C-alpha cells in the first residue's frame, strides 16, 4: 500500500474512533427518556385535580417481550392506552388514580405491601369498597403493587381469579376479568420520582425480579413532576 | 526541625479545627468513634506526608543541577549501603503499621463491632443484647424509656426498599426507621431476595443484607437528628433509588410514634409472618408467597421463582 493509502487508512480509522468516543460520551451524558412521556399537566385547569387511569396486565401481548407484565396509562388528550410509564404531572396537585388490574395474584413475599400507605386517608377502593389492608394469603392474593418509594406510597393490586380467562394482549378492555382500584395522592414538589411494583412478578427470572421488573417502561417508571 | 514544627502545627490545626467536623458526625457512639478514628489516622498520616514534602524540598535545594560539586544522588555513593537509613525506614514504618493495626482492632472491639455487621452470632455484643434479642422472638419483648434496655430493630431488604420491624412493639413493620436517643440499638439485617447492604451513614452502621441470614450490628444513639439509609450493594434496576431517611428522636417521641404506628398497623401486622430473624418463602404463604417452581423443598435460592406451589 502506498504511503498515501496508509495515511488515508490511519486517518479513516482515527475518525471512526473519534466518532465512537463522541457518540459514547454523548449517549452517556444524555441518555434520554426510555419510551415516551404521557403529559397530564394540560388535561385539566391549573390547580385542579388530575385524573390518571392506568391498567396492569399479566402479559403485554405485543412487542419484543409479549409475555412480560406491564403497566399502561391512558393518554388524557387522546383517550388511548399508551405503553409508557413516565407520567408528567403538576406539582402539589391531587391525583385521582384509577387502576384496572387484569392479572391474577398470589400471597405477597412481604405482606407489608398488603397495606395501603401514603394515599389520601391511607385508603383505596377495591371494586367500590374501601379498604386499607388486604391479606394476600386469602382470596386471589395480590398480583402487583403501585408504589412510589420516596413518598412511602404503596397500594396492593388485588389479583383476579386465576381460573378465569385472562386478557393476554394489552390494552385490555373491561370485558375481561379485572379489579378496579381507586385512590388519591398529592404530588410533591418538582422532581423525578420513581414508581414501581414491589411484587417480584417477572416470572421465569431469578427471584422474579428480572424481565419486566427490571426493564423501564414495564413495571416501573417515573413521575416527572413539574411546577 | 522544620519537619517537626510543621507536623506539630498541622496536627494541632487538624485536631482542633477540622476534626470536630469530620463525618459521619457524633449522632451515635459508632459515628463518634469513626470520626475519632479518621481524625487520629490523619494525625498519624500528616507527619509522614509532610516528611515527604520537606524531604522533596530539601532534595530540590540540595541537589539542584545549578549547584556545582554536589554528589550525584541517584546511582552515586550516597544512594548505596546506607544501613542506618534502611533500618530506620523499616523500623519506623513497621511500628506505624503495627500500631495502627492494633489501634483499629481495639477500636472495633471497644465499640461493639464499630457499627459493622457481625453475622448471626456477634462476639462483641453490648450488655443486655443477648437477652433483648432472645426476648424479641417471644411475646416477652419490651422496651421503655430510661430503662437502658437494648432495642432490637429488624431491617428487611428487598428489591428495592428497606422496611423495618419492631419486635418490642408487637412486631409491626414500617417503611420508616425511627430510633430513640440514648439507646443501644441492635440492628438485625436480612434480605428477602438478593444481597443488599444496609448503610446508615450518619449513624455509622453498615451491614450486608443476605437472604436467610441475620446480620447483627450495634450502635448507641446519642443526640437526635436525621440520617440517610442507602443500599450499598448493587442490587438491580432500582438500586439507585433504594434509599430512605431515618430519625433519631427523643425517647418519649419514639414511644409515642411506636405505639401509634403499632395501633395503626395492627390489622396488617396480624397478616405478617411471626417475627423471626429470617424469612423463607414457603408453600403456605406464611412467610411470603413467591414459591419455587415445582415442589422443591427446602427453599433453594438458586431456583427460579415462578409457578405457585400448592399448599401442603
Q: Which of B35, B45, B21, B48 is nearest to B107 (CA)?
A: B35
Q: Locate the chain B residue with the closest alpha carbon to A116.
A: B268
Please tell me which of the candidates A203, A215, A216 has its beta carbon nearest to residue B306. Answer: A203
The C-alpha of B75 sits at a distance from chain A's nearest C-alpha, in angstroms, of 43
pLDDT at B151: 93
- Inter-chain residue contact A108 with B288, CB threshold 8 Å: yes
Write the CB contacts of B65 (distance below 8 Å, at least 6 apart in sequence).
none
pLDDT for B294 beyond 90: no
Give the distance from residue A133's alpha carbon to the nearest chain B alpha carbon, in angstroms.
6
- Position B311 scores a pLDDT of 37
Closest Cα to residue B211, out of B175, B165, B159?
B159
What is the DSSP-derived secondary structure letter of residue A169? S
**Cell representation of residue B215:** 446480620
Low-confidence ranges of chain A (pLDDT < 70): 30-35, 206-207
Q: pLDDT digit string (tens) for A4-17?
A: 899 999 999 999 99
At residue A201, the pLDDT reads 82
Quick one: A26 and A138 in the same domain? no
A77 and A133 part of one domain:
yes
Using DSSP bridges, classify how beta strands B172-174 and B161-166 pair: parallel, antiparallel or unpaired.
antiparallel
- Do A42 and A81 fall into the same domain? yes
Taking an 8 Å cut-off on Cβ atoms, the answer to whether B163 and A152 are in contact is no
Between chains, do B238 and A194 touch, taking CB under 8 Å as contact?
yes
Bond into B298 cis (ω within 30):
yes
The three cell numbers locating residue A61: 401481548
Can you give the pLDDT at residue B137?
Answer: 80
Radius of gyration in angstroms for the set of CA atoms belonging to chain B, rounded to a whole number: 27
Which residues from A are below 8 Å from B when comparing CB atoms? 106-112, 114-115, 117, 122, 132-133, 135-137, 141, 147, 149-150, 152, 154, 194, 196, 198, 200, 203-209, 213-216, 220
Q: Do B241 and A109 touch (CB under 8 A)?
A: no
pLDDT at B57 over 50: yes
**A98/A194 same-domain check:** yes
Cβ–Cβ < 8 Å for A68, A218: yes
- Where helices occur in chain A by DSSP H, the ranges are 3-29
Q: Distance between CA B145 and CA A168 in Å, rounded?
A: 56
For chain B, which residues make up each domain, given as ranges? 2-63+83-110, 129-269
Q: Three-state SS for A226?
A: strand
Q: Indicate the range of B88-97, B134-143, B246-255 predicted with least confidence.
A: B134-143
* Candidate from A136, A203, A214 with C-beta closest to B236: A214
What are residue B132's phi and psi, to 5 degrees? -65, -40
Does B161 sit within 8 Å of A149, measured CB to CB? yes
Q: Which residue has the higher pLDDT, B142 or B109?
A: B109
Q: Which three cell numbers stand for residue B58?
A: 530539601
pLDDT band at B310 (very low <50, low <70, confident <90, very high): very low
C-alpha span between A152 and A188 (Å, rounded): 12
Whole-number average pLDDT of chain B: 84
Q: Do B265 and A109 touch (CB under 8 A)?
A: no
Contact B241 A204 (CB under 8 A): no
Pairwise CA distance, residues B173 & B24, whole Å: 27
pLDDT at B288 over 70: no
Question: Please, are residues B151 and B184 in contact by the beta-carbon 8 Å criterion?
Answer: yes
Distance from CA of B277 to the nearest CA of A (A): 14
Instruction: Give the closest of A107, A108, A115 to B265, CB-based.
Output: A115
CATH class of the domain defined by B129-269: mainly beta
Chain A interface mutation, best of B154, B155, B161, highest count of A Cβ atoms under 10 Å = B161
Instruction: Kindly provide the ipTM of the predicted complex, given to two decimals.
Output: 0.79
Provide CB contacts within 8 A for B259, sequence distance 6+. B169
Q: Please give the pLDDT value at position B71.
A: 66
pLDDT tier for residue B152 given thresholds of 50, 70 and 90? very high
* pLDDT at residue A183, rounded to an integer: 97
Residues B290, A205: C-beta atoms closer than 8 Å:
no
Q: Is residue B251 predicted with pLDDT exceeding 50? A: yes
Mutate which: B191, B288, B294, vs A, most A CBs within 10 A = B288
Q: Based on the domain organization, do A1 and A113 belong to the same domain? A: no
Q: Evaluate whether B198 touches B164 at the Cβ level (below 8 Å).
A: no
Sign (positive or negative) of CA dihedral B299, B234, B201, B250? negative
pLDDT above 70 coverage of chain B, percent: 86
- Tell me, yes or no, whether A1 and A46 share the same domain: no
Q: Mean pLDDT, to the nearest integer, of B8-35?
A: 92
Smallest CA–CA distance, residue B237 to chain A, in Å, is: 5
Q: How many domains does chain A have?
A: 2
pLDDT of residue A43: 83
Q: What is the C-alpha to C-alpha distance for residues B238 and A110, in angstroms, rounded to an integer? A: 18
Please tell me the predicted confidence (pLDDT) of residue B76.
64
Q: Which domain holds residue A2?
A: 1-31
Is there a contact between B160 and A150 if contact means CB atoms under 8 Å apart?
no
Please list, residue by residue across A149-160, b when 16 or more beta carbons sit within 10 angstroms of its beta carbon and e when fewer do.
Answer: bbbebbbbbbbb
Question: Cβ(A37)–Cβ(A86) under 8 Å?
Answer: yes
Question: Residue B98 is placed in which grid cell?
Answer: 503495627
C-alpha dihedral over B188, A196, B246, B277, to 10 degrees?
Answer: -10
- Per residue in B195-216, pLDDT (tens digit) is 999 999 999 999 999 988 899 9
Q: Which three cell numbers stand for residue B128?
A: 443486655
Cell of A165: 380467562
Q: Is the pLDDT score of B269 beyond 80?
A: yes
Are A109 and B289 within 8 A, CB to CB? yes
Q: For A206, name the nearest residue in chain B, comparing CA atoms only.
A: B304
Residue A123, SS3 per DSSP: coil
Segment A106-157, tens digit of pLDDT: 888 888 999 999 999 999 999 999 999 998 888 888 989 999 998 999 999 9
B143-157, B176-190, B295-309, range with the lowest pLDDT: B295-309
Nearest to B271 among A109, A133, A209 (CB): A133
Residues on chain A touching B268 (C-beta within 8 angstroms): 111-112, 114-115, 133
Cβ of A167: how many Cβ atoms within 10 Å? 23
Instruction: Kindly report the CATH number assigned to the domain that includes residue A68.
Output: 2.60.40.420
Tell if the CB–CB gap between A112 and B173 is shorter than 8 Å. yes
Grid coordinates of B183:
439507646
Amino acid at each position: 500500500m502506498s504511503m498515501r493509502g496508509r495515511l488515508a487508512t490511519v486517518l479513516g480509522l482515527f475518525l471512526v474512533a473519534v466518532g465512537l468516543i463522541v457518540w459514547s460520551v454523548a449517549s452517556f451524558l444524555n441518555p434520554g427518556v426510555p419510551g415516551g412521556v404521557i403529559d397530564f399537566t394540560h388535561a385539566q385547569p391549573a390547580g385542579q385535580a388530575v385524573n390518571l387511569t392506568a391498567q396492569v396486565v399479566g402479559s403485554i401481548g405485543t412487542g419484543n417481550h409479549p409475555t412480560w407484565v406491564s403497566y399502561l396509562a391512558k393518554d388524557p388528550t387522546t383517550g388511548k392506552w399508551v405503553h409508557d410509564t413516565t407520567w408528567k404531572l403538576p406539582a402539589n396537585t391531587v391525583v385521582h388514580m384509577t387502576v384496572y388490574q387484569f392479572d391474577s395474584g398470589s400471597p405477597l413475599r412481604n405482606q407489608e405491601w398488603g397495606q395501603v400507605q401514603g394515599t389520601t386517608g391511607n385508603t383505596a377502593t377495591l371494586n367500590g369498597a374501601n379498604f386499607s389492608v388486604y391479606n394476600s394469603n386469602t382470596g386471589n392474593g395480590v398480583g402487583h403493587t403501585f408504589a412510589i418509594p420516596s413518598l412511602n406510597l404503596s397500594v396492593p393490586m388485588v389479583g383476579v381469579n386465576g381460573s378465569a380467562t385472562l386478557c393476554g394482549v394489552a390494552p385490555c378492555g373491561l370485558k375481561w376479568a379485572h379489579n378496579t382500584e381507586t385512590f388519591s395522592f398529592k404530588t410533591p414538589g418538582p422532581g423525578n420520582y420513581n414508581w414501581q411494583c414491589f411484587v417480584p412478578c417477572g416470572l421465569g427470572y431469578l427471584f422474579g425480579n428480572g424481565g419486566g421488573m427490571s426493564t423501564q417502561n414495564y413495571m416501573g417508571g417515573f413521575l416527572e413532576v413539574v411546577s | 526541625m522544620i519537619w517537626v514544627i510543621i507536623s506539630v502545627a498541622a496536627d494541632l490545626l487538624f485536631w482542633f479545627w477540622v476534626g470536630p467536623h469530620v463525618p459521619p458526625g457524633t449522632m451515635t457512639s459508632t459515628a463518634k468513634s469513626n470520626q475519632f478514628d479518621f481524625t487520629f489516622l490523619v494525625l498519624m498520616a500528616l507527619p509522614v506526608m509532610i516528611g515527604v514534602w520537606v524531604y522533596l524540598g530539601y532534595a530540590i535545594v540540595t541537589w539542584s543541577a545549578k549547584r556545582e560539586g554536589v554528589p550525584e544522588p541517584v546511582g552515586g555513593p550516597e544512594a548505596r549501603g546506607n544501613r542506618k537509613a534502611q533500618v530506620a525506614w523499616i523500623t519506623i514504618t513497621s511500628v506505624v503499621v503495627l500500631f495502627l493495626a492494633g489501634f483499629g482492632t481495639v477500636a472495633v472491639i471497644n465499640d461493639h463491632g464499630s457499627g459493622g455487621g457481625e453475622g448471626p452470632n456477634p462476639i462483641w455484643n453490648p450488655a443486655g443484647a443477648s437477652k433483648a434479642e432472645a426476648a424479641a422472638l417471644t411475646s416477652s419483648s419490651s422496651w421503655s424509656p430510661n430503662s437502658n434496655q437494648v432495642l432490637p430493630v429488624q431491617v428487611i431488604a428487598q428489591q428495592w426498599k428497606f422496611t423495618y420491624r419492631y419486635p418490642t412493639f408487637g412486631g409491626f413493620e414500617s417503611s420508616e426507621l425511627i430510633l430513640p436517643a440514648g439507646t443501644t440499638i441492635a440492628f438485625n439485617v436480612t434480605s428477602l431476595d438478593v444481597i443488599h447492604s444496609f448503610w446508615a451513614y450518619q449513624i455509622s452502621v453498615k451491614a450486608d443484607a443476605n437472604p436467610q441470614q441475620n446480620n447483627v450490628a450495634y450502635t448507641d444513639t446519642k443526640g437526635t437528628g436525621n440520617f440517610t439509609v442507602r443500599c450499598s450493594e448493587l442490587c438491580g434496576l432500582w438500586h439507585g433509588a433504594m434509599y430512605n431517611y431515618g430519625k433519631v428522636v427523643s425517647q418519649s417521641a419514639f414511644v409515642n410514634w411506636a405505639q401509634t404506628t403499632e395501633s395503626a398497623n395492627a390489622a396488617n401486622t396480624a397478616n405478617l409472618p411471626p417475627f423471626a430473624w429470617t424469612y423463607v418463602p414457603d408453600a403456605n404463604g406464611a412467610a411470603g408467597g413467591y414459591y419455587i417452581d415445582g415442589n422443591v423443598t427446602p427453599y433453594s435460592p438458586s431456583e427460579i421463582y415462578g409457578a405457585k406451589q400448592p399448599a401442603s
